[in-house]
A and B are shown apart, each in its own frame.
Chain A
Amino acid sequence: MIVFDQVQKSYQVGDRAIPALHPTDMRIDAGEVFGIVGHSGAGKSTLVRLINLLERPTGGRILVDGEDITRYNPQELRAFRRKVGMIFQHFNLLSSKTVADNIAFPMKLAGVYGKTEIRDRVEELLARVGLTDHAHKFPSQLSGGQKQRVGIARALACRPSILLCDEATSALDPQTTQSVLKLLADINRELGLTVVLITHEMDVVRRVCDRVAVMDAGRVVELGPVSEVFLHPQHPTTRDFVFESENIDHRELQQDLQKTEGRILRLTFKGEATYQPLLGSVARTSGVDFSILSGRIDHIKDTPYGQLTLSLVGGDLAAAMREFEAADVHVEVLR
């Protein structure tokens, strides 16, 4: 478990202190995939680097499994860092070392592993990330997705309990992003390690994260389970991110709404409710007529969800709303 206790960070520029992270309290549970989403410059990159002290906080305490890591001496800090893997947007592999040597590198640095132990572990990791045939290639001979797989294998070499991902998929194409995210999710599930992932893409959060913190201008403005934050965004920044990821042009939607008659509702289905043939039966029993203005059915991590914007005309509206709610559907009246 990682606990932020009034952690803050500012940079000294001349005689002015520029805040990068305002005092922040936060808890990241062991074994969860925790997303941090924000625009560039929002402070998420600083936040993730505080966890392995690549950046030192200018105030507050950071507790990892109950220990205040900001009080570690250099030797303790190095030992701690070996238990925290990190992967990067631009991979940061050593171009002078082969794939196998890159993966072996952190183990060699640790100085506690024997030769055969390193060799076996590298082989195991290569198989895990599907790069056994590429062991003796150099990073420049690999595609972006393969490079990130090497990065992941390297980060896992010393069997860390925390994996930090710094925009790990931002330099990859959509298909490669998919496969890398799937790998991260698998690793999280199989090894039970805590994953902290920063990104500017809400879609990445939706696919793999359990909980998410939304950052804006050095502050965490919203934090909660992904389904909560994603389906019912509160803060304007969060809304921007969600709409962006759904390709919704907000103004266009408003114009569409003005053209329609009747009540406008937004229904949110989650889990099993997503697959129920609810609309038809509600329309029959309550006598309302509906037209669908917009809709989307997708997954949040492994949970299916649907979100429909409807306009309802005639019939018994109150009864319809009661029926929706009885079926565990979240109803929001837009007009």
Chain B
Amino acid sequence: MDALLSNVDWVEIGWASWDTLVMVGLSLLFSVLIGLPIGVLLFLTGKRQLLEQPVAYAILSFVVNVLRSVPFIILLIVMIPFTVMLIGTSLGVAGAIPPLVAGGAPFFARLVETSLREVDRGIIEATQAMGATVRQIIFGALLPEALPGIIAGITVTAITLVSYAAMSGVIGGGGLGDLAIRFGYQRFQTDVMVITVALLVIFVQVLQMLGDRLVLYFSRK
């Protein structure tokens, strides 16, 4: 067993796992904080919605599409100057977070928009008929009704961020991806590669399970 995993430094693996956890956790938090209002705005300004604004929608939608169509590996590199300006470094756990958020937030915003569109128009109409303000419609009806969909969106975003976070190892981002590239790839330590990939798989599995449970808990349909 020891011979089979001779290159594996478990303490190193532990720290790398923790780094990945922190990167995914923080970037998920910021992706949700930024993506949720953008998603709500995308929905509200869309065609035949409460605050229909074709120009605003077009601009917002364009920005989101640009960020989503740039391959993440390119985004990582393009973001470096901006990240240095924002954080002071483009390396390590902290340096990986801005590009992760730049990739995660627009992705999550689209998922929010989609789940809001799933809310029955009749519910919006009924809430309007009660004399609700737009703010009350959003917070009292739309978001609670879309909650299961939004939670599912958070799960999908979290899992995407796990793979993005691993990818950020290419530019020295830290975490399991960094480990896999420095040891598993550049030093041909296959056992390290296998362990990191296995840990990532477990990580994704746990996230999906957790997300599914939460969706189930909040679904009243």
Contacts and interface: CB of A to CB of B under 8 A. Distances in A.
B132 A78 contact: yes
Contacts of A158: 130
Contacts, number: 63
3 shortest A-B CB distances, which residue pairs?
A: A81-B131, A92-B126, A92-B122
Contacts of A81: 128-131
A96 B147 contact: yes
Interface stretch (A83-91, A121-129, A173-181, A213-221): A83-91
Considering residues A84, A92, A96, A97, which has the most beta carbons from chain B within 10 angstroms of its beta carbon?
Answer: A96
Interface string B72-90: 0000000000000000000
B221 A140 contact: yes
Given A92-B120, A95-B145, A96-B147, A109 B131 contact: yes
Interface of A: 52, 54, 77-82, 84, 86, 88, 90, 92-97, 105-106, 108-110, 138-140, 158, 164
Contacts of B125: 54, 88, 92
A138 B220 contact: yes
Given A81-B131, A158-B130, 12 more contacts: A84-B129, A86-B129, A92-B120, A92-B126, A93-B123, A94-B123, A96-B147, A105-B140, A109-B131, A109-B132, A110-B131, A140-B220
B136 interface: yes
A82 B131 contact: yes
Contact of B131 (A97, A106, A164): A106
B69 interface: no
Given A88-B122, A140-B220, A94 B144 contact: yes
A195 B145 CA distance: 29
Contacts of B126: 86, 88, 92-93
A96 B220 contact: yes
A139 B178 CA distance: 50
Contact of B130 (A77, A90, A109, A139): A109
